[in-house]
């Protein structure tokens, strides 16, 4: 017996590595018909890891004070060896993570990955997404540029719109009469310690619940129904090596694109690093054209779209409620979808139409949120907000009444 196999046995007696590897890799069976839409989960993991490592390195040279923050970013960009690369990996990584997550969620909506028995995987994933949004928002303040500052000012003002307790809550969140160095200090602590720990926990829960119920597939067929004598699904192949190989290919292609952006378009034409953020924060002057980071743009457009009061609640509070509900409503999809089939392939005409309406509305809102506010952008945003919500709110109706196609028993080759 060689030294390493001996060491492995010694470890295995004390901590069951071999059983773990079998359960989660070599004998974890994944549907054989997974397509390219199924690589975005592992890409999201890769990007979270990228954010963690580059974030630790950035924290080594960053100063979390109102006086020092902006200058320390310049120091990282100009003086720290490879500081520019590490920072661009972090900023581009944040944008890439949202692209990947939006496709990952769309995959879930397309193939009904949220349906029984995967409701908990969906809920934990959405919670993770919500926390990543807050994490990104807090990280955005740290460069202490004009866009950082006024973005934080707008979002913390949302607390102020809550009736009765709002004003006090707003001051409590900021620790000052308006966003200041005090706010920067607490956002920094939450951004680098509290939320990463929370995200790590949620990634663990998201993955372990997924491993327990197994992956869905583009046809939405339950592969556990047809097993051989050993209990191995006939339409499944082991995760290791088949899906690991596939994931590695996806990662290679992704990294090619990722570094192309980092090396040639690090500011993403003003979408990854906004122009106004090259100016230090000034609490007395708001830049003329302010917009949310592109990945919040659809939600920001919905906030702006509410320009009317209703039921005695003012537009400001309603805007916040609409924006918050637009994220929260996605949590409820497993219970809004009454369809007997999972995948869009077997759903009816209405489901397909509404999914298109949803995707188009989301993209239109993203564009509207990045344009200066005006009469046209306002009514287009209002229309798109209706489209966005109709997908969810009408789902119990259209998923029930439409005719579905029969789902095959076995996965097609």
Binding site for another protein (CB under 8 A): 150, 153-158, 160-161, 171-178, 180, 182, 186, 283-290, 303-304, 306-309, 314-316, 319, 373-375, 378
Instruction: Pick the closer one to another protein by CB: 90 or 174.
Output: 174
CB of 184 to another protein, least distance (A): 13
**Distance (Å, whole) CA 361 – CA 380:** 10
Instruction: Pick the closer one to another protein by CB: 314 or 409.
Output: 314
Instruction: Pick the closer one to another protein by CB: 9 or 176.
Output: 176
CB of 290 to another protein, least distance (A): 5
Instruction: Pick the closer one to another protein by CB: 61 or 180.
Output: 180
Instruction: Pick the closer one to another protein by CB: 132 or 323.
Output: 323
CB of 377 to another protein, least distance (A): 9
Instruction: Specify the pairing of strand 236-238 against strand 29-31.
Output: antiparallel
CB of 185 to another protein, least distance (A): 11
CB of 186 to another protein, least distance (A): 7
Instruction: Pick the closer one to another protein by CB: 224 or 316.
Output: 316
CB of 21 to another protein, least distance (A): 40
**Distance (Å, whole) CA 382 – CA 391:** 15
**Distance (Å, whole) CA 61 – CA 259:** 23
């Amino acid at each position: 017996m060689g030294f390493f196999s001996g060491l492995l046995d010694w470890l295995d007696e004390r901590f069951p590595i071999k059983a773990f590897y079998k359960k989660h890799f070599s004998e974890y069976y994944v549907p054989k018909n997974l397509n390219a839409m199924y690589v975005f989960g592992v890409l999201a993991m890769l990007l979270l890891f990228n954010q963690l490592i580059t974030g630790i390195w950035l924290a080594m040279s960053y100063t979390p004070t109102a006086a020092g923050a902006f200058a320390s970013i310049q120091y990282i960009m100009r003086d720290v060896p490879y500081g520019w690369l590490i920072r661009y990996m972090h900023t581009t990584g944040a944008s890439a993570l949202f692209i990947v997550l939006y496709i990952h969620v769309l995959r879930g909506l397309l193939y009904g990955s949220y349906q029984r028995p995967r409701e908990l995987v969906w809920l934990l994933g959405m919670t993770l997404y919500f926390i990543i949004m807050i994490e990104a928002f807090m990280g955005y303040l740290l460069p202490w540029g004009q866009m950082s500052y006024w973005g934080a000012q707008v979002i913390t003002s949302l607390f102020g719109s809550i009736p009765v307790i709002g004003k006090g809550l707003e001051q409590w969140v900021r620790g000052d009469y308006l966003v200041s160095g005090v706010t920067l200090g607490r956002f920094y602590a939450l951004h680098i310690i509290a939320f990463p720990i929370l995200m790590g926990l949620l990634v663990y829960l998201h993955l372990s619940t997924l491993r327990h119920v197994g992956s869905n597939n583009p046809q939405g067929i339950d592969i556990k129904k047809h097993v051989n004598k050993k209990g191995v699904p006939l339409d499944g192949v082991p995760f290791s090596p088949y899906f690991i190989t596939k994931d590695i290919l996806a990662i290679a292609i992704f990294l090619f694109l990722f570094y192309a952006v980092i090396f040639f378009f690090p500011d993403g034409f003003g979408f990854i690093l906004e122009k106004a953020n090259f100016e230090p924060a000034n609490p007395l002057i708001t830049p003329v054209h302010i917009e949310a980071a592109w990945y919040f743009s659809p939600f920001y457009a919905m906030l702006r779209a509410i320009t009317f009061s209703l039921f005695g609640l003012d537009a400001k509070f309603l805007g916040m409620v609409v924006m918050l509900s637009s994220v929260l409503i996605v949590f409820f999809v497993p219970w809004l979808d009454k369809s007997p089939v999972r995948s869009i392939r077997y759903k009816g005409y209405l489901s397909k139409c509404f999914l298109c309406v949803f995707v188009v509305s989301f993209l239109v809102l993203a564009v509207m949120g990045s344009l200066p506010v005006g009469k046209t952008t306002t009514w287009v945003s209002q229309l798109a907000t209706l489209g966005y919500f109709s997908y969810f709110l009408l789902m119990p109706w259209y998923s029930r009444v439409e005719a579905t196609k029969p789902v095959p028993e076995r996965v097609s080759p």
